[in-house]
Amino acid sequence: MQIGALGDIVFQVSSEAFETINNLVWSGSARYAKHDRHLTNSLTEFTGLEPDTISFDMVLSEYLGVDPLPELVKIWKYERSGKSLTFIVGDKTFGKYRWTIEKHKINMQTFSAGGKLTSATVSVSLLEYLRN
């Protein structure tokens, strides 16, 4: 059963494969300018919103029916190309438009006797990508 997707990276749970996300955090912040004044308090001015961010972890394991390397290659390609992606969990599309992969971190956990990566946890950070 598909539970979500980031572009063509599908989050799924079935009897053949288990590829899902954990530790999902969605953050946003406002932007302020500070105007210093002589011998009195500074003034703050709301100047807009910073792009939202989303971070999550994915467990990729051959033992759970997922070959880690092809999924990691997709993440690398998306990040390096700057491609904007839809991010969906359940029936909810997150954000106002799309997301780009800002950065990732891979914890390579197990390897086969021949040195093939068999399981990894990848932490992905997304940056909100809005239309002009």
Q: How many domains does the chain have?
A: 1
pLDDT at residue 76, rounded to an integer: 96
Q: What CATH number does residue 24 fall under?
A: 2.40.30
The answer for residues whose C-beta is within 8 angstroms of residue 78's C-beta and 6 or more apart is 7, 85, 100, 101
**What is the SS3 assignment for 24?**
strand
Q: Give the chain's residues under pLDDT 50.
A: none
pLDDT at residue 86, rounded to an integer: 96
Residue 122's domain comprises 2-129
Give dist(CA 39, CA 103) in Å, integer.
Answer: 43
pLDDT at residue 1, rounded to an integer: 86
pLDDT at residue 92, rounded to an integer: 93
Helices (H), the chain: 68-81
